[in-house]
Amino acid sequence: MSKRQKVVVISGPTASGKTSLGVDLALALKGEIVSADSMQVYRGMDVGTAKPTPEEQKGIPHHLLDVVDPDEEFNAATYNSMAIPKITEIGSRGNVCLVVGGTGLYIKGLLDGLFESPPVDMELRESLRRECDSSGSAALHERLADLDPESADKIHPNDRVRIIRALEIIHLTKRRFSDLTREHSFGGRKLDAMKLCLNVEREELYDRIDKRSLAMVENGLVDETESLLRKGYSSDLKPMKAIGYRHMITYLKGEWSLGEAISELQKDTRRYAKRQLTWFRADPEVTWIEPGNFHMLKEKVKGFLIETS
């Protein structure tokens, strides 16, 4: 039986410092980086996605940046189909693979595999969303606990997206979500992962988010958004509705002042960071790391890489 390839995952909320930490580790360990960011895959969307510049990449190979246009379909399955061959290539070169990004679903799918879930029933989903809005996510979480206690234990009561999806699948398949995932067993893990997540104090994280949001606008987010629209990319496209771009589109339409757009961008980014933290905190395999003390972290990663699996 062949050994599973080792990968080091660096995740965390937006603006927590994942990019720079990943590059520093790659420099120290002869590594290459595979991005796990659902927005940095799009060409022409650089400022608003905080895509690392050539200077920030410091000569480290970065994979899965700029792989599709904004009007092309891209999802977790597409990500897997591109990321797994890249990871294998990196290993064949004898280099360390670092998976760096904050898209929890992509990381989970990469490490655990994806199973065929039933197609989305939008009428059912909207009904559950309305119920969640009126009664709160905790009420839906209680229902999930009655129907599928095992899944409820793994999903935070505030994580409305995962609660709603679990309830959808139960309704559509007439089976427990936990039973389906166990049967699938995620195909058996093909990668041996060390999962690290950056833990930044909430006040500091929000301050970083506010400053970065402002810097994005100062560095050309309005012009970038205008350029995408001029190229014919509709404001209805999924990536154009993402944080940053939808705010600039609203400003360009004259519905907000630039100050209002920046304020809303900061607020929505803070909310997104909270959702990311909820996702990563639900994963018992994550090791939380504090910023700083790079030497200790490097040695810890080295220890993982030389362990026999």
Asked if residue 243 and residue 105 are part of one domain, the reply reads no
256: domain CATH number? 1.10.287.890
How many domains does the chain contain in total? Answer: 3
131: domain CATH number? 1.10.20.140
Residue 184: per-residue pLDDT: 59
Asked if residue 70 and residue 195 are part of one domain, the reply reads yes
Asked if residue 262 and residue 245 are part of one domain, the reply reads yes
Residue 99: per-residue pLDDT: 98
Asked if residue 193 and residue 73 are part of one domain, the reply reads yes
What average pLDDT does this structure show over 201-221?
Answer: 97
pLDDT for residue 1 is more than 50: no
**Does a structural domain hold residue 279?**
no
**Does a structural domain hold residue 193?**
yes
Asked if residue 32 and residue 102 are part of one domain, the reply reads yes
Burial of 309 (0-12, 13-18, 19+ CB in 10 A): exposed
Residue 183: per-residue pLDDT: 65
pLDDT digits 0-9 by tens, 231-263: 999 999 999 999 999 999 999 999 999 999 999
Asked if residue 195 and residue 61 are part of one domain, the reply reads yes
Asked if residue 13 and residue 145 are part of one domain, the reply reads no
Residue 148: per-residue pLDDT: 93
**Does a structural domain hold residue 109?**
yes
Asked if residue 177 and residue 213 are part of one domain, the reply reads no
Contacts of 131 (CB under 8 A, 6+ apart): 139, 140
**Does a structural domain hold residue 278?**
no
Asked if residue 41 and residue 53 are part of one domain, the reply reads yes
Asked if residue 98 and residue 55 are part of one domain, the reply reads yes
**Does a structural domain hold residue 291?**
yes
The total of other beta-carbon atoms located within 10 Å of residue 218's CB is: 11
Instruction: Report how far apart, in Å, the C-alpha atoms of 48 and of each of 14, 30, 164, 228 are.
Output: 12, 29, 29, 12
pLDDT for residue 19 is more than 90: yes
Q: Which of the four pLDDT bands, split at 50, 70 and 90, describes residue 2?
A: low
Asked if residue 101 and residue 35 are part of one domain, the reply reads yes
Residue 201: per-residue pLDDT: 95
Asked if residues 216 and 47 have their Cβ atoms less than 8 Å apart, the reply is yes
Q: Which of the four pLDDT bands, split at 50, 70 and 90, describes residue 224?
A: very high
SS3 31: strand
**Does a structural domain hold residue 294?**
yes
Residue 187: per-residue pLDDT: 52
Residue 116: per-residue pLDDT: 66
pLDDT for residue 275 is more than 60: yes
10: domain CATH number? 3.40.50.300
Q: How many CA atoms lie within 13 A of 309 on its CB side?
A: 15
**Does a structural domain hold residue 30?**
yes
Residue 3 parent element (H or E) = none
pLDDT digits 0-9 by tens, 104-150: 999 999 998 876 667 778 899 899 999 999 999 999 999 999 999 99
Look up the domain containing 24 and give its range: 5-115+189-200+284-306
Mean residue pLDDT across the chain: 93
> Distance (Å, rounded) from C-alpha 128 to C-alpha 61?
43
N residues, the chain: 309
Q: At what angle do helices 221-230 and 245-252 cross, to 10 degrees?
A: 80
pLDDT for residue 186 is more than 50: no
Say what the pTM is. Answer: 0.81
pLDDT for residue 282 is more than 70: yes
